[in-house]
């Protein structure tokens, strides 16, 4: 039973194929082409135990575009509030006939356990601080669509890298495409990974970047924001002017305006934030199709 739990499980061929399929589905959706409804008769259950806007909505739409039935579970209105366990929730949606369980959970290992308990295809939609593989795939799709060949481009991940599952998955993915990555963060927000270039000085590194990839401070995971942090790490207008004119700005969302980025910069043409969102649906179509049908 195939699942997508982390990017590291993918061999080069599968990784390349998922990105290429994401790009193809995006082109098809943009062109209004009919997409073959390869998941007709299948059921996709989205079970999200943490808040989500983009990820849950895009999995929902991706499943619908492929013809699947979709169940959406929301922790707040579910029986979790009556004390039901993760295992019972997973077994409940499996008993209803869900073929694919898309799960987001604060605990490391939850998606893997869901796969074991349910015996169904499981897709990791955000796991604690450790992995968010579909975000990394859609970001790769976004970079490939923008740059064509991404080998050698320089990406700076700026902000709370240490607590970010997005950064963890992105780093493991982009290095496979020979992207040059640097984390830019104060010591308390740095990820401890051998081989990951690190700088605490945004102003000194900014001019070398092709992509500024901003990250939200994960306050729900104990991280804190102070004015010194905002002074040193916010992408403000002055820093934007210091970027190379061909560089772009990315952010997985949700954005905290005027914390990691000066609000008006989101309206710049060089902000790819809504492109990332747009690529979420086709990339997740590629993933759902891959887990079920390949």
The residues that touch ligand NCD, with contacts defined as CB under 6 A, are 54-55, 126, 132, 135, 165-166, 216, 252-253
Nearer to ligand NCD by C-beta: 42 or 111?
A: 111
Closer Cβ to ligand NCD, 22 or 252, answer by number: 252
Backbone angles phi, psi at 32, to 5 degrees: 65, 20
Query: Which CB, 89 or 283, lies closer to ligand NCD?
Result: 283
d(CA 265, CA 259): 12
Smallest distance, ligand NCD to C-beta of residue 216, A:
4
Please give the distance of CA 133 from its chain centroid, rounded to a whole number: 6
**Shortest distance in whole angstroms from residue 159 CB to ligand NCD:** 9
| CA-CA-CA-CA dihedral for 37, 4, 223, 81, to nearest 10 | 70
Rg (CA), the chain: 19
Q: Is the CB of 120 or the CB of 132 nearer to ligand NCD?
A: 132
Residue closer to ligand NCD, measured from CB, 55 or 247: 55
**Distance from C-alpha of 15 to C-alpha of 96, rounded to nearest angstrom:** 31
Q: Which is nearer to ligand NCD, 55 or 271 (CB)?
A: 55
**Nearer to ligand NCD by C-beta: 121 or 132?**
132
């Amino acid at each position: 039973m195939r699942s997508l739990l982390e990017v590291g499980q993918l061999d080069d061929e599968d990784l390349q194929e998922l990105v290429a399929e994401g790009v193809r589905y995006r082109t098809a959706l943009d062109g209004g082409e009919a997409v073959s409804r390869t998941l007709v008769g299948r059921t996709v259950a989205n079970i999200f135990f943490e808040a989500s806007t983009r990820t849950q909505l895009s999995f929902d739409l991706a499943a619908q575009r492929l013809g699947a039935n979709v169940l959406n579970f929301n922790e707040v209105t579910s029986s979790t509030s009556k004390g039901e366990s993760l295992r019972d929730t997973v077994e409940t949606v499996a008993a209803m006939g869900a073929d694919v369980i898309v799960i987001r959970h604060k605990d490391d290992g939850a998606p893997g356990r869901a796969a074991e308990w349910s015996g169904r295809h499981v897709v990791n939609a955000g796991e604690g601080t450790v992995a968010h593989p579909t975000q990394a795939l859609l970001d790769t799709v976004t970079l490939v669509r923008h740059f064509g060949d991404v080998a050698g481009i320089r990406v700076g991940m700026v902000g709370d890298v240490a607590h970010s599952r997005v950064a963890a998955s992105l780093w493991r993915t982009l290095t496979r495409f020979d992207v040059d990555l640097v984390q830019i963060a104060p010591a308390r927000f740095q990820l401890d990974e051998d081989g990951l270039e690190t700088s605490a000085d945004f102003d000194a590194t900014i001019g070398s970047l092709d992509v500024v990839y901003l990250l939200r401070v994960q306050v729900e995971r104990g991280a804190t924001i102070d004015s010194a942090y905002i002074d040193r790490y916010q992408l403000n207008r002055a820093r934007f002017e210091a970027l190379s004119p061909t560089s772009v700005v990315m952010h997985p969302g949700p954005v905290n305006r005027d914390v990691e980025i000066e609000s008006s910069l989101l309206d710049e043409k060089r902000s790819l934030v809504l492109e990332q969102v747009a690529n979420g649906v086709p990339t997740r179509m590629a993933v759902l199709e891959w887990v079920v049908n390949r």
